[in-house]
Amino acid sequence: MSATPNLRLHPLLERYQHLADGIARLFFPYAEVVIHDLGTQRVLYLANNLSRREVGDDAALEEIERTIDERTVGPYEKLNWDGRKMRCTSSVLFDDAGKAQGVMCINFNIAVFEDMHGMLGMLLKGAGLVEQPAELFRDDWQERINTFMHAWLRERQLALNTLSRQHRRELVAALYAEGAFNGKSATHYIGNVLGLGRATVYKYLKELRGE
């Protein structure tokens, strides 16, 4: 998971190697953590090598003075060797005197999540989706109840699973006014959806009918 140079007691490694390993382990296998030595401008340490670099490679750090001033730069994006996107941050590493000694870069592979996002997008858009067959759903009273009920909830900024008893009573009244209870087994269905016993629903209906 990591590679180190021969000089294991390098001050940057003593101070920051465990942090690099911890971050890489937490986000494994998606995160690579690289420690750059500003003194040599070389890669000093790699945890979970995703970039196929090696310890001792040129750090290729540019505009390092601006990075030192800002202390942390990012997140920014760059392309990995395989053409996949990496989202990255770079943080300056200091010694006890406050002098910049290195830079720790955390490179996060977001390509896998972009692929998942694309797949979810296709599913949610409904590729190849057709209209409901009219001959099968000509009298789909359950869907009409669902449509009315969730429109009622949205207007009041309410959630079905957090409704109070009073809200449930009001929703039953609204459904009754809409004619929702005319459907076969509608009373049983609405009671199940609202978490109300059948006796409670009938009680509310009697009150609404003035019985």
Q: What is the pLDDT of residues 102-126, one digit of tens each?
A: 999 999 998 877 777 666 666 666 5
pLDDT at residue 128 in the model: 59
Of 75, 73, 37, residue with least CA distance to 57: 37
Residues 28 and 105 in one domain: yes
Domain boundary among 78, 113, 148: 113
Residues 69 and 100 in one domain: yes
Residues 14 and 91 in one domain: yes
User: Would you tell me how many other CB atoms lie within 10 Å of the CB of residue 51?
Assistant: 19
pLDDT at residue 4 in the model: 47
Q: Where are the alpha helices (DSSP H) in the chain?
A: 11-26, 64-70, 111-125, 134-137, 141-155, 165-178, 186-194, 198-209
CATH number at residue 53: 3.30.450.20
Number of residues written out for the chain: 211
Residues 170 and 77 in one domain: no
Quote the domain boundaries for residue 139. Answer: 134-209
Residues 84 and 174 in one domain: no
The H or E element containing residue 46 is strand 42-47
Is the residue at 159 inside a domain? yes
Is the residue at 122 inside a domain? no
Is the residue at 38 inside a domain? yes
Task: With a cut of 70, list the residues of the chain below it in pLDDT.
Answer: 1-9, 62-63, 117-140, 211
Rounded (5°) CA angle 167-170-176: 140
DSSP 110-164: -HHHHHHHHHHHHHHHTTT--PPPHHHHTT-HHHHHHHHHHHHHHHTT--GGG--
Residues 45 and 101 in one domain: yes
Q: What is the pLDDT of residues 51-75, one digit of tens each?
A: 888 898 888 776 677 777 788 888 8
Count of domains forming the chain = 2
Is the residue at 119 inside a domain? no
User: Would you tell me how many other CB atoms lie within 10 Å of the CB of residue 104?
Assistant: 22
pLDDT at residue 63 in the model: 64
pTM of the model: 0.56
Residues 161 and 65 in one domain: no
Is the residue at 125 inside a domain? no
